[in-house]
């Protein structure tokens, strides 16, 4: 409810029309109006411009709503502190009414129809709308400050995954100017297009199509350097549920990644793998979903070090680490368990299903050619042990014992195989 004592300015050159407006406001039953009257717009520049009015009523004959200039509606709003402008017309002119409303007039009234109720309602509605717009503008200003002050990079995307807004931290982290960022395709910030497509697919087709949370990816800075990041995103929806875009948070996880990463292969390290196995084991037991584990051991890796040196051996581990990252995506977790052993977790996956990516991995390993630099060429194969969580496994040690046994049996069978614990 608007308070009483609304201050109104009337700009009207006809004395009888000014009297009619004053009489209508005095007969109003819902509010008390304090009325100032000017005969011409120009008078206000000297006497009343800048006054704090709740609304301004102005005779249509004193302005031209279809043009810019001194007597335009926009200039009047600026002159009177952005007070709502209500235009009073002798007769209805559709073009003038349309121009007035498009130029920012709050209402367009016919003088012949003015009465206490109509005039009061028009002024009250104009004042309410002004306050509502001010509240929205203040809210947007506050949200903009919050958006800009967030410690992690934030991007506002349209439905085609183009960047429409970003905060300052995004510009700093990605090394891109704001002008170059706006309108940029999101995929240009990803180190791998397939990962981009997977992430946007989760936004479009994930649970309720509403978001992704904690997705670990590699992003690309403007200078071409990649960095590990954790992504969180959600839809920006209208009141009727229509998606208007997305908000994406990018957390640079370089420091966190270093703490859980093997320095040579850039895969997860043993400590992280053990912790993750414990978490996935507990989750699978509690909710009844599948969990498979694979231990990979490179065949005759010691011969590589003995024949070509440890640098050649390191190159092999790094190359195979990259291959494992490419082949084992999504929820699969791969890391260097120690030496030339790699551990792979397959959450929500049975052993038979895990065999498919492992077979792709085994074939890529044996086909990869290494050149140690002395003219020689060599290949290296790997043996995989696989076990699936069952009711017999009381803890992770028992599950690991089974996968270790499967690996041993694979070595006994002649290596370069996938051995499944049955």
Helical pair 351-367 and 310-327, crossing angle rounded to 10 deg: 140
**Residue 162: its pLDDT value, please?**
96
- Residue-wise pLDDT tens digits, 147-180: 888 888 999 999 999 999 999 899 989 999 888 9
What dotted CATH number matches 260-420? 3.30.70.270
**Residue 243: its pLDDT value, please?**
85
In the sheet that holds 107-110, the strands lie side by side as 33-38, 6-11, 55-59, 85-89, 107-110
- Residue-wise pLDDT tens digits, 39-56: 887 654 444 555 688 999
**Residue 345: its pLDDT value, please?**
96
Backbone φ and ψ for 266, nearest 5 degrees, come out as: 65, 10
Q: Which residues share a beta bridge with 217?
A: 229
**Residue 413: its pLDDT value, please?**
92
- Residue-wise pLDDT tens digits, 122-156: 999 999 998 998 888 888 888 888 888 888 899 99
Q: Which residues share a beta bridge with 156?
A: 165, 247
Instruction: Quote the percentage of the chain above a pLDDT of 90.
Output: 51
Instruction: Quote the percentage of the chain above a pLDDT of 70.
Output: 94
- Residue-wise pLDDT tens digits, 329-361: 767 899 999 999 999 999 999 999 999 999 999
- Residue-wise pLDDT tens digits, 203-230: 876 544 456 778 888 899 988 888 889 9
- Residue-wise pLDDT tens digits, 223-236: 888 888 999 998 88
Distance between CA 366 and CA 382 in Å, rounded? 8
- Given a contact cutoff of 8 angstroms between Cβ atoms, the answer to whether 370 and 316 are in contact is yes
**Residue 27: its pLDDT value, please?**
87
Domain boundaries defined on the chain? 6-146, 150-252, 260-420
- Residue-wise pLDDT tens digits, 267-306: 999 999 999 999 999 999 998 999 999 999 999 999 999 9
Q: Does domain 150-252 have CATH number 1.10.3720.10?
A: no
Q: How many residues are there in the chain?
A: 422
Find which of 92-101, 172-181, 394-403 is predicted with most confidence, using mean pLDDT.
394-403
124-133, long-range: CB < 8 A, 24+ apart: 124/2, 124/6, 124/30, 124/31, 126/55, 126/84, 126/86, 127/2, 127/6, 127/54, 127/55, 127/84, 128/2, 129/84, 130/82, 130/83, 130/84, 130/106
- The DSSP secondary structure of 273-330, one letter per residue, reads HHHHHHHHHHHHHHH---EEEEEEEETTHHHHHHHH-HHHHHHHHHHHHHHHHHHS-T
Mean pLDDT for the stretch of residues 106-132: 91
- The class (CATH top level) of 6-146 is alpha beta
């Amino acid at each position: 409810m608007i308070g009483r004592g609304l201050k109104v300015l009337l700009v009207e050159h006809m004395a009888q029309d000014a009297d009619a407006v004053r009489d209508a406001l005095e007969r109003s039953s819902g509010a008390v109006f304090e009325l100032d009257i000017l005969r011409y717009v120009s008078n206000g520049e000297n006497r009343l411009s800048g006054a704090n009015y709740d609304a301004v009523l102005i005779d249509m004959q004193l302005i031209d709503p279809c043009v810019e200039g001194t007597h335009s509606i926009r200039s009047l709003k600026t002159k009177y502190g952005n007070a709502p402008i209500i235009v009073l017309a002798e007769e209805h002119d559709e073009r003038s009414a349309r121009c007035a409303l498009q130029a920012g007039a709050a209402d367009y009234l016919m003088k012949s129809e003015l009465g206490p109720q109509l005039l009061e309602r028009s002024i009250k509605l104009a004042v309410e709308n002004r306050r509502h717009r001010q509240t929205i503008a203040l809210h947007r200003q506050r949200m903009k400050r919050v958006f800009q002050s967030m410690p992690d990079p934030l991007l506002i995307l349209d439905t085609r995954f183009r960047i429409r807004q970003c905060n300052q931290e995004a510009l700093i982290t990605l090394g891109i100017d704001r002008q170059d960022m706006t309108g940029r395709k999101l995929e240009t910030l990803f180190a791998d297009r397939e990962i981009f497509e997977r992430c946007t697919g989760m936004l479009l087709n994930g649970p309720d199509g509403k978001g992704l949370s904690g997705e670990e990816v590699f992003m690309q800075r403007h200078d071409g350097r990649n960095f590990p990041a954790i992504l969180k995103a959600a839809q920006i929806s209208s009141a009727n549920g229509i998606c208007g875009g997305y908000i994406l948070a990018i957390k640079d996880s370089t420091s966190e990644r270093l703490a859980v990463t093997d320095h040579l292969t850039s895969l997860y390290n043993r400590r992280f793998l053990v912790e993750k196995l414990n978490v996935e084991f507990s989750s699978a037991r509690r909710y009844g979903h599948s969990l498979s584990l694979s231990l990979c051991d490179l065949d005759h890796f010691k011969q590589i070090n003995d024949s070509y040196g440890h640098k050649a051996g390191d190159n092999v581990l790094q190359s195979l680490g990259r291959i494992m990252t490419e082949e084992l995506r999504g929820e699969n977790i791969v890391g260097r368990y120690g030496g030339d052993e790699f551990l792979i977790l397959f959450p929500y996956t049975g052993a038979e299903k895990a065999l498919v990516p492992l077979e792709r991995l085994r074939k890529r390993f044996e086909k990869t050619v290494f050149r140690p630099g002395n003219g020689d060429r060599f290949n290296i194969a790997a043996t995989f042990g696989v076990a699936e969580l069952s009711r017999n496994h009381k803890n992770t040690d028992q599950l690991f014992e089974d996968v270790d046994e499967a690996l041993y049996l694979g070595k006994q069978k002649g290596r370069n195989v996938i051995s499944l614990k049955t």
